[in-house]
Amino acid sequence: MNIIPGQIINKETHEWLNIRNNYVEADVKRDILHIAVIDRHGASKNMGKAFIRGFGLRAGAIASSIAHDHHNIVVVGTNPSGMLVAVKHLKTIGGGFVAVKNCEVIGDLPLEFAGLLSLEPVEKVIDKLEKLNQVVRKELGAKIDVPFMQLEFITLPTVPELGLTDKGLIDARNYRIIEPVIEVKD
């Protein structure tokens, strides 16, 4: 998935990635990161996984419990360990937004009402979100102005060309689930 900054659409490309110990690695130098959507509503334990380009993260992970239209957990990162820390932190705070660097939380914005809304005044929430976006740009290297908003719309399975849900990577043009890894070479 290749995001287009400032838009909710994305483009599909095919890239070669390294495999180490039967694990497909992210390629931070080429801005190809891991992304996952995890079911947070029921007992399905579904998790859709793919790769994404365009966030520009050089380290760490960001995660959100706002993921249109299903509001599962969506997380993007340079490594699975940081992504796991981000997801666990969202569970601890009841949902919201979180940024992780070196497997440590460096910022968050709890959304205490179902992980979707804050009980604080809107002005405070806007200020806290802008500060969190700044942390992600400065500390993690994000290239986009509003990384959490971009993250929220990656999960729409109806917007071209791809969407990621807890069921998997969705080809929004042909309305089917596709595999994020299409070929493995020894």
The domain segmentation of the chain, as residue ranges, is: 2-178
pLDDT tens-digit map of 82-111: 999 999 999 999 999 999 999 999 999 999
Q: Is the pLDDT of residue 185 over 80?
A: no
For 5-54, what is each residue's pLDDT tens digit?
889 999 999 999 999 988 899 999 999 999 999 998 877 889 999 999 99
Average pLDDT over residues 171-175: 93
Q: Which two tokens stand for residue 52?
A: 């994404």
Q: Which two tokens stand for residue 153?
A: 């719309």
- pLDDT score recorded for residue 26: 95
Paired residues of 104 in beta bridges: 101
Residue 186 has pLDDT above 80, yes or no: no
The 10s digit of each residue's pLDDT in 117-164 is: 999 999 999 999 999 999 999 999 999 999 999 999 999 998 889 999
pTM listed for this prediction? 0.94
Beta-sheet strands, E only, within 10-156:
10-11, 19-20, 23-24, 32-38, 47-53, 61-64, 73-77, 96-101, 104-110
